[in-house]
Amino acid sequence: GAVVSQHPSRVICKSGTSVKIECRSLDFQATTMFWYRQFPKQSLMLMATSNEGSKATYEQGVEKDKFLINHASLTLSTLTVTSAHPEDSSFYICSARDITGYEQYFGPGTRLTVT
């Protein structure tokens, strides 16, 4: 089946530093990848949609300069949280949609803690 990986699974960083999270589709090509954020005991909120080779589309209220998304290939998208602050601490989940269907395959998530 379709597998999506995320790296790292957990990261702790200091306030003011930047953190990069990778999302890879392991056995299929993903023309579209999505990034979600989930705060404790809350639902998933879509942050942005990225299409391979083009700029990401950000949801309202998401700072594009803070959350940099790059979708450089059909199997890799990265989310960089720049100048992280404690309020950026969250569970970040990516998903990938293949070119054949409407189903999204989710990665295992990355738990970011900013101290």
Partner 1 sequence: AQKVTQAQTEISVVEKEDVTLDCVYETRDTTYYLFWYKQPPSGELVFLIRRNSFDEQNEISGRYSWNFQKSTSSFNFTITASQVVDSAVYFCALSEVKAAGNKLTFGGGTRVLVKP
Q: Which residues bind partner 1 (CB under 8 A)?
A: 32, 34, 41-46, 49, 51, 57, 91, 93, 95, 97, 102-109, 111
Cα-Cα end-to-end distance for the chain: 37
Smallest distance from partner 1 to CB 16, Å: 26
Pick the closer one to partner 1 by CB: 14 or 41: 41
Smallest distance from partner 1 to CB 83, Å: 25
CA separation for the pair 6, 10 (Å, rounded): 10
Which among 91, 50, 54 is positioned nearest to 81, based on CA atoms?
91
Q: Which residues contact 41 (CB under 8 A, 6 or more apart)?
A: none
Pick the closer one to partner 1 by CB: 75 or 110: 110
Pick the closer one to partner 1 by CB: 34 or 67: 34
